Amino acid sequence: MAGGGAAASALSSPWRALLQRALDANAHLKHSTFFQLATVGGGGRPANRTVVFRGFQEHCDKIQINTDARSNKIGEIKEWPLGEICWYFTDSWEQFRISGIIDVIDGSSPDPAKLQQREKAWFASSVKSRLQYLGPSPGIPVANDDHVTDVHLDPSAGPVDTYCLLTLDPENVDYVNLKSNQRLMFTRTQEGDESSDWMARKVSP
pLDDT tens across 185-197, in order?
A: 999 987 555 557 8
The pLDDT value given to residue 168 = 98
pLDDT exceeds cutoff 50 at 4: no
Structural domains present in the chain: 5-104+161-203 (2.30.110.10)
The pLDDT value given to residue 9 = 41
Q: Which residues pair with 199 in a beta bridge?
A: 187
When pLDDT is averaged across residues 86-102 and rounded to a whole number, the result is 98
- List phi, psi (to 5°) of 77: -70, -35
Per DSSP (E only), the strands in the chain are 34-40, 46-52, 63-68, 82-89, 94-105, 163-177, 182-188, 198-203
Q: Tens digits of per-residue pLDDT, 39-52? A: 999 899 999 999 99
Q: Give the C-alpha separation, 27 to 160, whole Å.
A: 30
Q: What is the mean pLDDT of the chain?
A: 90
Residue 4 or 97, more confident: 97
Residue 10 or 66, more confident: 66
Q: Give the C-alpha separation, 48 to 86, whole Å.
A: 10
Q: Give the C-alpha separation, 76 to 5, whole Å.
A: 33
Q: Give the C-alpha separation, 183 to 174, whole Å.
A: 7
Most confident of 6-15, 129-138, 157-166: 157-166
Q: Give the C-alpha separation, 2 to 8, whole Å.
A: 10
The pLDDT value given to residue 151 = 74
The pLDDT value given to residue 11 = 52
The pLDDT value given to residue 7 = 42
When pLDDT is averaged across residues 149-158 and rounded to a whole number, the result is 82
The pLDDT value given to residue 194 = 55
**Reported pTM:** 0.88
